[in-house]
Structures are given as C-alpha cells and as structure tokens.
Amino acid sequence: MDDTTDSLREVTLHNGVSMPTLAFGCAFGDWVGATDFQGFLPEQAWHAVTQALDNGYRAFDGAHVYGTERIVGNVIGQRLATGELTRDDLFITTKLAHPAAPPHINISHRRTWDPDKVDDIAQRVRDDMVATLDDLGFGYVDLLLMHWPGSFGQPTSSDPEFPRKARATIWRTMCELADKGAARAIGVSNFTIDHLRQLSEDVSDPAYRPAINQVEIHPYCRDPELESFCREHGIVVTAYAPFASGAFGLLQDATLVAIAEHHGKTTGQIVLRWHVQSGRTALPKTSKSSRMAENRDIYDFVLSDDEMRRIDALGEGEARRTCPDPSTIL
C-alpha cells in the first residue's frame, strides 16, 4: 500500500476548509434507462441516510431540488441529539436551483418570482438558503453550490446576456451568504470552462473563486480539459454519477472487471479509487448497506499508472452522459 493512501481521504479547498473525498449522495430518483428521469423519490432517503451513518459516512451531498433535506436533517439530528455525533463531525453540501428553472424543478420554493429580474433572483437565492437551513435544521452548511449555470431550452429573457448576468448575481449573493456564515465554502456545479471564465471576469476577487466544480464524471464520461482548467485555478472537481448511475453496463466493463480481479476488489471500488487517485472527490450513492461499506473500502490499495491509463482510455470519444450536457447552456 502506498504511504499516500490515507492522504486521499480528504482534500483541502482553497480557503483552507477540509472535506472528505467521498460523500454520500442524497438524490433518490426514478430512472427509466440511462437518461429518462421520472422524478425524485425522497421517501427512500430515510433508510439510506440512516444506513450511511451506520456505515461511517459523515459527508452528505444534497440539494434544494431533491426534496430530501428535511429528511436528512431529521436523521442526522437524532444522532446529534444523543451525542453520538457533533456538527463538527459532519460535512454537509447543498445546491441551490437556478432561479430560471421550471416549477417542477424548483419544488420547494416558497413564492413565485420573476426570473427575468435581477433583484428577484438575488432575493430568491437568499430565501432558498433560509429554507434549506430550516429544512436541514442547521445554522450553516459546509459547502453551498450553484446547481446549474442556467436553464435548458429557450431563454426566458430577450437579453442575450441575461444568463451570464443571472449567474453573476447568484454568485455574488452566495458570496454574501458565505460572508455571513451560512456556508463555510461555496462552489458551482455543471460549469464548463466558458462558464467558469465568465464568472471569474464578472466577480474577479480571487477570494471568491469557486472552491468546487461538481460535474458528471465516470470512466465513460471524461473532460480532461475542464479538469486541467480547474486544477490550474485551484478548483477541486467532484464527480457526481461516479458509476454512471448504473447505466451503459459500466460496472461490467471488461477492463474494470480485469483490474478488479487483480486487486480482489469490486468494479465499483476500482472506479472510486480511480476517481480519488485522479485528484477528484466523488459522490457514490446506493440504498444497499453492503455497497455503502464497499464504497468506503478503497484506501487500502493503489492503482498502477498503467491501470489508471487503461481506465482513462475508456472515456475517449463522445461522452456517454446520464444528465444533460452543460455546454448547451449559454
């Protein structure tokens, strides 16, 4: 075992905040095939989060849109009340929906807003953060992310620059929330290089650059250019859908099977080890207790350079995504 293995359990963000390399994903949904999303199933979260805590998970990745934050807060709150855990033991991530997202996405918004008005957008972000903290039952989150850089489909505004202006407004409001103690770190999700560059130009203070960019990455969906850009700018990349949400037969891939057999591990463990050894953090999600334990058991072996290259090669060519392509957002 390599001496650096234990160091892969955590990463340090550019503002000094440490976060675990693995967090339990709290988006429970109904999928048909690889990309046909039918809706969220928050009722699955209670048992899953309970089992995740029992299996040693202390980092949880949620979002306003998932509809699970009150459940997550209640389950964790029971452990806090008994003294089994303290707030400092936990790392809680949430994501705020883009204000222009359609109503069925913004399921927990408290009032109607005009997504074409900048002042409304800023206030909506503030109100949604208050709602999230109320649902979780915490005074702050460890990481606050902008969930998407914009909305899909036709723009709601006649101003071609509005999507960019909206992102800058959301980000400035998130900076304000962080300054007030509502979040220890802030970042983005599903941002391309263009989105990141624009945000840097619009909010130029380096202290307020994103700490995280959470994007879809798995062996069949890679973006080395984006990852390189993030590394150069001190942005940690987090992989959601690290197993491609079970799609495309990823975990039965012959290359992964061969590497797993060599190490006496599962293909899922090989994929997660590939993620953290590549410098990413990852969000494995499962409702099975045995797999939760398996997913955390990835720090006692090291993939060789050749094995890393073989897994990297699986992502050559067109990316196979389970979520929409962020490059389609202006």
CA distance 100 to 85: 38
Q: How far apart are CA 9 and CA 75, in angstroms?
A: 24
Specify the 3-state DSSP secondary structure of 303: coil
How does DSSP assign 186-241, residue by residue? EEEES--HHHHHHHHHHS--GGGS-SEEEEE-BTTB--HHHHHHHHHTT-EEEEES
Tokens of 168: 């800058």
- One DSSP character per residue, 175-199 reads HHHHHTTSEEEEEEES--HHHHHHH
SS3 260: helix
Instruction: Tell me the two tokens of residue 249.
Output: 């037969």
User: Which entry of 57, 66, 240, 299 is annotated as an active-site residue?
Assistant: 66
CA dihedral 31, 32, 35, 39 (to 10 degrees): -40
Give the integer Cα–Cα distance in Å for 85 and 231. Answer: 33
The question of whether 220 is a catalytic residue gets the answer no
Would you say 210 and 186 are in contact if contact means Cβ atoms under 8 Å apart? yes
- Please list the active-site residues: 66
